[in-house]
Each structure stands twice: as structure tokens, then as C-alpha cells.
Chains A and B, each alone.
Chain A
Amino acid sequence: MNSVGFLAIAIITLAGALAAATLPKLIHAALSLVIVFVGIAAYFFLLGAEFVGLVQIFVYIGAVAVLIVFTILLTRRDIVSDRGINWGGVIVALAVFGGLLWIILNTTSLALPAPQFEPVTVKQIGESLMTNYVWPLQCVGLVLTVALIGALILVMEEKTER
């Protein structure tokens, strides 16, 4: 594993995340979110979880980012007063980051290199989805169905008698 590549991906991902969190225009933030998702997918590929990386690209970039862009289109009302930043949240986020960083740097057992491992094939993932994880799979299917029906009902035009 090449550390220069890891650092480059880290810089790109974190810059995209900062842009997504702080850019004043909503559409720019939504498009920087795509950069973050590509960076995370690259980490999944480098860590040996190729299938999760592909799922990440399909679901997040293909569905979630497009959904966010369409929502921006449907709620288009760029008011300057909506662009403000609440500084209390910045302080809380910095405190959380400081605390997490302090804990991570003080835990000595974390500095281990990656062990050798057999690559996980899609066949293995499919077999465990159909055997050990069949109940979680059914529950996720139910959750997705209910969520999509709920989303449709929420945005359905209400018929008012006039």
C-alpha cells in the first residue's frame, strides 16, 4: 500500500467534505459531496472491499447525489439569509474532532499494519447474504419498500376541495 496515494486521496476527500459543508451555494456543495463519495469509494477499493466501493458509487453518486440535486431544483429559493453559519455548531464540531483525535492518538494498539488476507469475492458475499444474513436482507428490503412508499406519500400533491 502506497502512502503517497493514501495521503492524496485523504486531502481530496477532506477538501471536498469541507467544501460541501461550508460553500455558500447549495448546488456547489451538492457537487462537492460527489467528490467525497468518490474518495470514500477509492478507499474501499484500496482496502480490499471492491464490492462495497462499487455499491458506494452506484448508490451514493448514482442515486443520493442526483436526489439531492433534484431536491435543490424543486425547492429553488436561494435567499442570502439562509446561507448563514451558526458558530456554536463549528465550536461543537471542533471539540468533537479534538476529542476523537486525542483518543485515537493515545491508543497505542491502533498503529498496526494491514494483515495478509484473501480477497473477498462477490460469490462469497452473495452466499453469506443468502445464508447467514438472509433475515437482515429481508428486513432491509422491507425498510427500503416502506421508505420509498413513505417518500412518495410525503411528496404527493394534496387534493384540496375548493
Chain B
Amino acid sequence: MTATLQFFLIISSALFSIGLLAALSRRHAIFILIGIELMLAAANLNFIAFWRFGPQPQPPVGVMVAIFSIAIAAAEAAVGLALVIAIYRHYRTTNVDQLNQLKG
């Protein structure tokens, strides 16, 4: 038995769901960022898997999309962590349940 596309899709959907779990259920802001990173990694795995099991176009589209996606993820992580530090300085907490100043 060799690994099929189905195998990779199951792995990446499991990874995506674990990331969603971290993003939705944890109260610490950095855990939400960790969950978002997990979901982005799952999406990258899907890009590469579909590219590998697809018709192999020239230029290598899947590789390109994955590289750009990694670059965007790096920018997102930098801004997100800067926001966490700014929020911590302002409110002295990183618990997202206590950040309810916008609540009507």
C-alpha cells in the first residue's frame, strides 16, 4: 500500500480541526495564534498534496502557492504577536475573555 491523496487530506483535516480547537477553546491570546498557525500549516500541506497528485503543470503552481502562503503566514504571525504584546501592555492581561471593552 502506498500513501494516497486521501491519506494526506485526512491528516490535514485532522490538523485543521486541532488548530480550530486551539483557536476556539483556549482563553490565552497566544494559543489562538498557535491555532491559526496550525490551520495555515494544514492548508499548505493540502496545497502540496493536491499539486503532487495532480497533473503536474509547468510552472510548478502548487509549490508557488505554498511559498507565498508561508510568506503571508510569517507576516500574519509578526503582526499578531505584536498585537498581543500591545494588548498586554495596555490591559495587563492576555486572557481574551477579559478583553470585552467593545461589548455593547
**Residues of A near any B CB (own CB < 8 A):** 1, 3, 6, 10, 13-14, 17-18, 20-22, 26, 29-30, 33, 36-37, 40, 43-44, 47-49, 51-52, 55-56, 59-60, 63-64, 67-68, 70-72, 74-75, 77, 79, 81-90, 92-94, 96-97, 100-101, 104-105, 110-115, 117-118, 120, 124-125, 127-129, 132-133, 136, 140, 143-144, 147-148, 150-152, 154-155
Given contacts A29-B31, A43-B45, A125-B64, 19 further A-B contacts (CB under 8 A): A1-B3, A14-B15, A21-B19, A26-B31, A29-B34, A30-B30, A33-B37, A37-B41, A68-B34, A70-B81, A71-B30, A75-B88, A77-B94, A93-B21, A114-B52, A114-B53, A129-B64, A143-B72, A144-B75
Q: Roughly how many angstroms separate A44 CA and B66 CA in the complex, as a whole number? A: 10
Among candidates A22, A113, A118, A128, residue contacting B2 with C-beta atoms closer than 8 Å: A113
Residue pair A89, B24 in contact (C-beta under 8 Å): yes
Q: A43-B45, A48-B52, A110-B4 are in contact. Are A88 and B24 (CB under 8 A)?
A: yes
Tell me how far the C-beta of B37 lies from the nearest C-beta in chain A, rounded to whole angstroms.
Answer: 6
- Name the prevailing secondary structure of the A interface residues: helix
Which B-chain residue is minimally distant from A10 (CB atoms)?
Answer: B11
Among candidates B41, B59, B78, residue contacting A128 with C-beta atoms closer than 8 Å: B59
Residue pair B34, A92 in contact (C-beta under 8 Å): no
- Name the prevailing secondary structure of the B interface residues: helix
Please list the 4 inter-chain residue pairs (A to B) with the smallest Cβ-Cβ separation, ordered nearest first: A89-B24, A89-B25, A97-B17, A128-B59
Give how many B residues have a beta carbon under 8 Å from the other chain's beta carbons.
Answer: 73
Q: Roughly how many angstroms separate A24 CA and B5 CA in the complex, as a whole number? A: 34
Most buried by A among B7, B9, B28, B33: B28
Residue pair A68, B81 in contact (C-beta under 8 Å): yes
Residue pair A79, B17 in contact (C-beta under 8 Å): no
- The A-B contact count (CB < 8 A) is 251
Q: A52-B63, A100-B13, A101-B13 are in contact. Are A40 and B41 (CB under 8 A)?
A: yes
